[in-house]
Each structure stands twice: as structure tokens, then as C-alpha cells.
Amino acid sequence: MQYILKTVALSLPVMVTFVDSVGYIARVDGTSMQPALNPNSGSEDYVFLSKWAVRDMYVQRGDIISLTSPKDPSQKLIKRIVGLQGDIVPTIGYKKPYVKVPPGHCWVEGDHTGYSLDSNTFGPVSLGLMTARATCIVWPPSRWGGVANEVPRKRQLVSLGKSKSSID
């Protein structure tokens, strides 16, 4: 029994450090990221969310990220980056038909247009709200593999700013 307690006492700080610094596995709920994630109704993907990948706020168009909702800080969202600072993005139902993404922000959308709480609802998102980047699908086994980093053709930009973004 003492061995088990010692093992737990030594491994717990290592696991906490790993989750806080490197990443963790999370379940993707809902249909907003279909077909990239949860392609079939009733199925749920589990993805590895890498905190390490966004530690310097360096992201690209097409990355799928986890972020804190700008409307409800207790809610986590998983969305695709469609536009970076300086980009001019066509919107869907937002208060303006086009938005120039301000410095230190990005434009995020779900792949399932119209079924997503995203920048078309709350506008550009501060890069400081990013918590992690989805790097691979870990469950179910039939979907193991990397997460595609591509902006859907129907969501192409009007004008490109910088090709990559980072907060200096």
C-alpha cells in the first residue's frame, strides 16, 4: 500500500505539469466542426489539444484551436482559424459583410456553416483567448491521425494580411 501511495504522490505532479504545459485529450461535442471533426451524427471525436503548439501565439490559417468563449468564459470552443490580423474576411450574418481582422486577433469559424457559435456571432477573437491547437484525433481508432490544416474553399479570404500570426 505504501508503494502505491508513493507512486501516486510522485506521478501526480508530473501529470499536472504535463497537462498544464504540453496538452491534454478533449472530447469534441456537437456538429459545428463537421466534417473535419465528428463527421457522423451520434459520433464524438477525441482530439489531442497541444498547449505547447500555441505557447508563443504562433498560428496559421486553417489551424483548429481551442479557445475560451468571448461571450461565456466558462465555455471552451473548438474552431478553425479562417483569418489572421490584417486579413479581410467575408462574414456570414455578422453586422458587417466584411471585417478587417485587427492586430492581435483572429477570425474563427466552425466548418459546418450556420451551425456554429463563432466569429460570425461575436466578431474577431483575441489571440490571448487561445488555449491549445488540435493536432490529432485519438479516438475513435478508425479516425486516428492528424487534423487537417486547411480553410474550406467556401471560406476563402478577400484579402490576405500576414501569412502567419504571432503576438510580439
User: Which residues are marked as active site?
Assistant: 32, 79
Nearest to 108 by CA among 94, 100, 95, 118: 118
Round to whole Å and give the CA distance between 132 and 142: 24
- What letter does residue 141 receive in the DSSP assignment? G
C-alpha cell at 39: 463527421
Nearest to 108 by CA among 97, 119, 94: 119
Nearest to 152 by CA among 89, 85, 100: 89
3-state secondary structure of 92: coil
